[in-house]
Amino acid sequence: MTNALVQPDPGLYVWTIIVFVGLLLAANKLFWKPLMVAVRDREDTIRKSLDDARQAKEELARLNVESQRILTEARKQADVILSETRADAARFREELKQKAQTEAAGIVKNAEKQIGLETARAVQLIRKEAVDLSVAIASKILRRDVTSQDNERLIEETLRELDSTRPN
């Protein structure tokens, strides 16, 4: 008893090969070509993504260089502005100092002038008092009354004598 499935049959081999080739052709047409197209499309997409990533990396490097240049330039401008501001502040401080010194000198000069006027007035008053006192003493000594005209004349003479003896 021999099993028919185990017995070699040349017709079965031919039909098996024909079915296998037919299935292979059908699989190639239905599955393999679309699969290969999808793989090629995926490869193209990956290649394009890699190129885009490389370009983005180059663009990022270029932008980093550009931003560093801009930042350096901004720092230089900030330093220039800061030094100009400091110079302006120093100049303004010096102007205020000069103005204050000028005003202080004017105040001192005015005060000196006022002091001179007040001193002259005080000296004049002291002289007048001294003359009045001298006239009163002289009239007591002479035992006579001095008239106001005599008083004026004595005052004038005494002031002239004091002015001529006073050092300038």
Tell me if 86 is assigned to some domain: yes
When comparing pLDDT for 138 and 113, which is higher? Answer: 113
Tell me if 1 is assigned to some domain: no
Domain enclosing residue 115, as ranges? 11-165
Residue-level pLDDT at 146 = 63
Domain count of the chain? 1
Token pair in block for residue 20: 């296998």
Residue-level pLDDT at 103 = 94
Minimum mean pLDDT among 12-16, 45-49, 137-141: which range? 137-141
Cα 139 to Cα 97, 118, 123, 148: the distances in Å are 61, 31, 24, 12
Tell me if 24 is assigned to some domain: yes
Asked if pLDDT for residue 137 goes beyond 80, the answer is: no
Residue-level pLDDT at 156 = 79
Structural Rg of the chain based on CA atoms: 62
Tell me if 132 is assigned to some domain: yes
Tell me if 41 is assigned to some domain: yes
Tell me if 6 is assigned to some domain: no
The region, left, alpha or beta by phi > 0 then psi within -120 to 50, assigned to residue 9 is beta
Tell me if 155 is assigned to some domain: yes
